[in-house]
A = this chain, B = another copy of it.
Amino acid sequence: MTLNQMISEIKPADQEIVDRARERTSRLVMPRRALGELHLIGERICGIQRTLEPSVKNKAVLVMAADHGVAANSVSAYPQEVTGEMVRTFVLGGAGINVLARQAGARVLVVDMGVIPEVSDLPVEEAVLAAQSQVENALLIRKIAKGTSDFTLGPAMTREQAEQSLVTGYEVASTLFEEGVELLGAGDMGIGNTSSSSAIGAAVTGHPVERITGRGTGVDDEGFARKCRAIQKGLDINRPDPKDALDVLGKVGGFEIGGIAGAVLAAARFKRPVVIDGLISTAGALLAYVMCPTVADYMFAGHRSVEQGHQLMLEHMGLRPILDLGMRLGEGTGAALAMHVIEAGVRVFREVITFEEAGVTEEAQ
């Protein structure tokens, strides 16, 4: 499957079904559209899934993990080994994403897209991809390489690696959709990856580095200035072409960000809704959007992160976040938490009865 093939198969959401869904909403036994965004969500899922009987019961969260060469520039308050340690924690089931995905009824699939240490001593469950899998948290090894190169010194990866990370994310997500996943969350793990994500955001949206860069994970004033300098240097030295997503990904991105971009393309190709999370997940979605703006039809923004660049990227794609709870963890946590609201939109659409069914007097017209 080439990238061009992936993209050529993506069609817009079905607006005619959305219109029919709106008509049903107008008959629900409540004042017109009184549940606000829940109606919009339910109707969008109808248009995405091409049905007036939408379903988001079968849920999964992908946590794409990789290491970043830019971490050598002291852009994070945590040492690089935390990436691999957190991958282990995800598989143990003890991290934030495990807890929130469990509550949402979603499986967690951690994908090693390019973590430095070997994590293959963990229980790798290929079978977890199967729809009937009972495994709550599992790991897939899809290492493109052991971390990217430092983008302040040259490209983070080759163009071939960039394409490979996209295709890998596409294939993993495609398998999930083929096995019946109806709602996918896209999460990340990677020390240093807020720097890559801000670099992608600056390259694609044109916003200045200082505006699109946040403090990431526990960075102070001095660290923030250092982080902005590293990102600016990466952009200056590599000059990524904002119209060429593979160029941006290869020069300042990360393997897990490419994986997320590929998963978003797969969601659009398979006509399934995908919930994006915070800054890193949204950077991946933004690259998919550059390749094919139609993917925005399939995306839901789970939440508004406290990372300031996040909102700017969401606006670039015309997305409005569902939740705004001051979160900044990543891992897919905002996506997992928002799944409940998305499912609420679907349930309200399907399960609330009409004025006629209830025998309730309608508003005088």
Q: Interface of A with B (CB < 8 Å)?
A: 28-32, 34-38, 77-79, 81-82, 85-86, 88-89, 92, 94-96, 98-100, 102-103, 217-218, 306, 322-329, 333, 337, 340-341, 343-344, 347-348, 351-353, 357-361, 363-364
Please give, as numbers and ranges, the residues of chain B lying within 8 Å of A364 by CB-CB distance.
77, 79
Please give, as numbers and ranges, the residues of chain B lying within 8 Å of A340 by CB-CB distance.
103, 337, 340-341
CB distance A352 to B95 under 8 Å? Answer: yes
CB distance B37 to A326 under 8 Å? Answer: yes
Please give, as numbers and ranges, the residues of chain B lying within 8 Å of A38 by CB-CB distance.
325, 327, 337
CB distance A325 to B325 under 8 Å? Answer: no
Q: How far is the CB of A270 from chain B (nearest CB, A)?
A: 25
Q: A35-B96, A79-B361, A360-B85 are in contact. Are A30 and B329 (CB under 8 A)?
A: yes
Q: A77-B363, A340-B340 are in contact. Are A347 and B31 (CB under 8 A)?
A: no
CB distance A94 to B29 under 8 Å? Answer: yes
Question: How many angstroms from the CA of A360 to the CA of B100 in the assembled complex?
Answer: 20
Partner of A92, one of B218, B323, B358: B358
CB distance B99 to A352 under 8 Å? Answer: yes
CB distance B352 to A96 under 8 Å? Answer: yes
CB distance A347 to B34 under 8 Å? Answer: no
Q: List 22 A-B contacts (CB under 8 A).
A: A30-B96, A31-B77, A32-B218, A34-B96, A34-B327, A35-B96, A35-B333, A36-B325, A78-B361, A92-B353, A94-B351, A94-B358, A96-B348, A98-B352, A99-B348, A99-B352, A102-B351, A103-B340, A217-B363, A323-B323, A337-B341, A337-B344
Please give, as numbers and ranges, the residues of chain B lying within 8 Å of A81 by CB-CB distance.
361
Please give, as numbers and ranges, the residues of chain B lying within 8 Å of A325 by CB-CB distance.
35-38, 322, 341
Partner of A218, one of B28, B96, B352, B363: B363
Partner of A360, one of B35, B89, B359: B89
Question: How many angstroms from the CA of A120 to the CA of B339 in the assembled complex?
Answer: 39
| CB-nearest residue of chain B to A357 | B94
Please give, as numbers and ranges, the residues of chain B lying within 8 Å of A95 by CB-CB distance.
29-30, 352-353, 358
Q: A35-B329, A352-B94, A361-B81 are in contact. Are A103 and B306 (CB under 8 A)?
A: no
| CB-nearest residue of chain B to A94 | B353
| CB-nearest residue of chain B to A41 | B325
Partner of A31, one of B328, B351, B360: B328
CB distance A36 to B359 under 8 Å? Answer: no
CB distance A36 to B326 under 8 Å? Answer: yes
Question: How many angstroms from the CA of A230 to the CA of B127 in the assembled complex?
Answer: 66
Question: How many angstroms from the CA of A306 to the CA of B35 in the assembled complex?
Answer: 10
Please give, as numbers and ranges, the residues of chain B lying within 8 Å of A328 by CB-CB distance.
31, 34, 36
Q: A324-B324, A348-B99 are in contact. Are A89 and B341 (CB under 8 A)?
A: no
Question: How many angstroms from the CA of A96 to the CA of B33 in the assembled complex?
Answer: 11
Question: How many angstroms from the CA of A323 to the CA of B81 in the assembled complex?
Answer: 36
Q: How far is the CB of A33 from chain B (nearest CB, A)?
A: 9
Q: How far is the CB of A59 from chain B (nearest CB, A)?
A: 13
CB distance B323 to A99 under 8 Å? Answer: no
CB distance B103 to A327 under 8 Å? Answer: no
Please give, as numbers and ranges, the residues of chain B lying within 8 Å of A358 by CB-CB distance.
85-86, 88-89, 92, 94-95
